[in-house]
Amino acid sequence: MPSVIQSAKRLARSILDRVDVLLHNKHYASRFQQTFEQKKWGTSLDTVSGEGSTMERTAGIREGLPKLIQQFGIKSMIDAPCGDYYWMQHVDLPLETYLGLDLVPGIVEKNQQQFAKPPRIQFQVGDLIAGPIPKADLIMIRDCFIHLSLGHIKSVMKNVKDAGITWLLASQSPQQTYNRDIPSGPGCRDINLKLTPFHLPEPRYIIRETNQPELPEAQMALWHRDDLPF
């Protein structure tokens, strides 16, 4: 009986989540723009991109990303969303080209003025959900899927595959046992890309992001485009 009740509660929650997503999903761009303009993610931080973009929270990816790039012979990379480039500016990337994409024009304009070094480092406005996405050897999608609806995550994966990008490096939480649907926007929850509705296989490579025992495990996981089902 407890398992039946638990299943019923999960079904009811899933239906309510779906209704919420249908009502609010189409406004994702304006919701992210508003979050940036009101500095909701960075009022007390050195970065406007939130706690996940501080130097402390990016120690793992700053150490692991150059190693991954060298090991897999990657020459071109897309970083989306690139945010304010706060921590990435401190990473020595062995790349020929880096392209930072972000949905918020104000972020892109600032980055282009402060950090662009054409043709090696450039920034442009881009929408992973609507697409299209430029072609590159690797696209890194860090701390993005946690903000997107399940349907929008599927759209991004399809756009990545359609772009002919060889490798996808994305955030996931392997301890997560259920992927809850939410409207795309500044709200968030953890995502496990190996679970329904994505069913991705074991990653080809993993960068562990959390060294603090009090935090749940988070990782950047690498998949080949042939691993993407959409």
Tell me the per-residue pLDDT of 103-162, one tens digit each, with 9 for 90 and over: 999 899 999 999 999 999 999 999 999 999 999 999 999 999 999 999 999 999 999 999
Q: Which amino acid is at 100?
A: G
- Domains of the chain (ranges, CATH numbers): 2-227 (3.40.50.150)
Contact 192, 176 (CB under 8 A): yes
In angstroms, rounded to a whole number, what is the distance separating the alpha carbons of residues 223 and 161?
11
For every one of its 230 residues, what pLDDT tens digit does the chain have, with 9 covering 90 and above? 556 666 666 655 555 555 445 445 566 777 666 766 666 555 546 776 667 788 888 999 999 999 999 999 999 999 999 999 999 999 999 999 999 999 999 899 999 999 999 999 999 999 999 999 999 999 999 999 999 999 999 999 999 999 999 999 999 999 999 999 998 988 889 999 999 999 999 999 999 986 666 666 789 999 999 999 87
In angstroms, rounded to a whole number, what is the distance separating the alpha carbons of residues 205 and 207?
7
Buried b (16+ CB within 10 A) or exposed e, 72-83: bebebbbbbbbb
- In Å, how far are 14, 23, 83, 88, 140 from 52, measured between CA atoms? 27, 28, 11, 12, 15
In angstroms, rounded to a whole number, what is the distance separating the alpha carbons of residues 99 and 105?
15
pTM of the model: 0.84
pLDDT of residue 131: 92
